[in-house]
Structure formats: structure tokens, C-alpha cells
């Protein structure tokens, strides 16, 4: 009787162990799979919603920061983003989940990267605090070129970025 109990206990432990392993492996594979779907909403220049298989994903663009809606060029940044991706099929390569639960990622329309296009056309700053990949240096060069050519928000010498301090 004791031997049978010990055998059941051992099988139970192994089963739990395998379920735990399976759970973590399935989570890893989902985190690495790109989101592919149709853009159904554009909240502002750097936040969109993508519909994939009846599930909506709120996406915050990685490494860029666009003006807020009420700031100069906030609406233009939103219009630029809408013009590129609204009702389009996109691929999102996820980098992180932010504190608001949004997927932070790179958004691709075919071969074009929305994140990079916003910077190149002067509708976004490189978000240096959060942009740590090797391509961020290239983005900083694109930002300098947009500034030199006075594109978008760079018609101003020093456009003001939103900060919580601005609200006070």
C-alpha cells in the first residue's frame, strides 16, 4: 500500500513538473511570435490598435515619441500614422509590455517601418530613454536630418516635448 502511494506521489510530481515546463515554453513562444493583423484604430501618433484573429492588441511604438494630441504637430503625427497604417495589414515585432499593458513594438507595413518613418518625416523624437537597440543610433541620424531639413515639428528650433511638468 505504501509503495503504491509513493508511486502515485512520484507520478503526480512529475506530471506537475511537466505542466509547469509546458506552460513556460508556451508563454515564450507566444511572446516571440509577431502580431499580424489589421489596424483598426489610431489613438495618436505613437499608439495604434491591431486586430488579429478577433483579438485587439494596443501597440505603443518602440523607441519613438510623438507630440501629444493637443501639442503642435500632435494631430499631424496622428494623421501621418493613420495615413500609413489605418485599415492596413501590419506586422508588429514586440519588444516589451509597458506599464499600461500595451505591447511595445516595431510596426511594419510591407518593408517600411512606421517607427522609422515617423522620425524620418519629422513627426517623432527618438525616445532615447527607451531606445536601446543598435539601430537607435541610425534613428538619431535620421532625426538630425529631419531637424536640418526643418521637417514636421522641426520647423521650430526646439520643439517642446510633453512632460508631466508641463501639465502643472
Nearest CA among 93, 80, 112 for reference residue 50:
93
| Active-site residue, selected from the candidate residues 3, 60, 116, 147 | 60
**Does 102 qualify as catalytic in the annotation?**
yes
User: What are the respective helix, strand and coil percentages of the chain, to the nearest 5?
Assistant: 40, 25, 30
**Does 167 qualify as catalytic in the annotation?**
no
Determine how β-strand 64-65 pairs with β-strand 55-61: unpaired
Rounded distance, CA 113 to CA 91, Å?
Answer: 10
| Active-site residue, selected from the candidate residues 102, 116, 117, 143 | 102
| Active-site residue, selected from the candidate residues 68, 116, 117, 143 | 68
**Does 13 qualify as catalytic in the annotation?**
no
Residue numbers annotated as active site: 60, 68, 102
Amino acid at each position: 500500500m505504501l509503495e503504491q502511494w509513493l508511486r502515485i506521489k512520484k507520478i503526480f510530481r512529475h506530471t506537475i513538473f511537466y505542466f509547469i515546463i509546458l506552460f513556460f515554453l508556451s508563454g515564450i513562444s507566444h511572446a516571440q511570435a509577431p502580431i499580424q493583423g489589421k489596424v483598426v484604430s489610431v489613438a495618436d501618433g505613437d499608439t495604434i490598435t491591431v486586430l488579429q484573429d478577433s483579438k485587439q492588441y494596443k501597440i505603443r511604438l518602440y523607441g519613438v515619441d510623438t507630440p501629444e494630441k493637443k501639442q503642435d504637430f500632435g494631430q499631424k503625427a496622428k494623421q501621418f500614422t493613420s495615413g500609413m497604417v489605418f485599415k492596413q495589414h501590419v506586422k508588429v515585432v514586440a519588444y516589451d509590455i509597458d506599464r499600461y499593458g500595451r505591447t511595445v513594438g516595431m510596426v511594419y507595413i510591407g518593408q517600411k517601418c512606421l517607427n522609422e518613418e515617423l522620425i524620418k518625416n519629422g513627426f517623432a523624437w527618438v525616445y532615447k530613454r527607451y531606445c536601446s537597440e543598435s539601430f537607435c543610433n541610425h534613428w538619431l541620424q535620421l532625426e538630425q536630418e529631419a531637424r536640418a531639413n526643418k521637417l514636421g515639428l522641426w520647423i521650430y528650433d526646439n520643439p517642446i516635448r510633453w512632460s508631466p511638468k508641463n501639465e502643472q
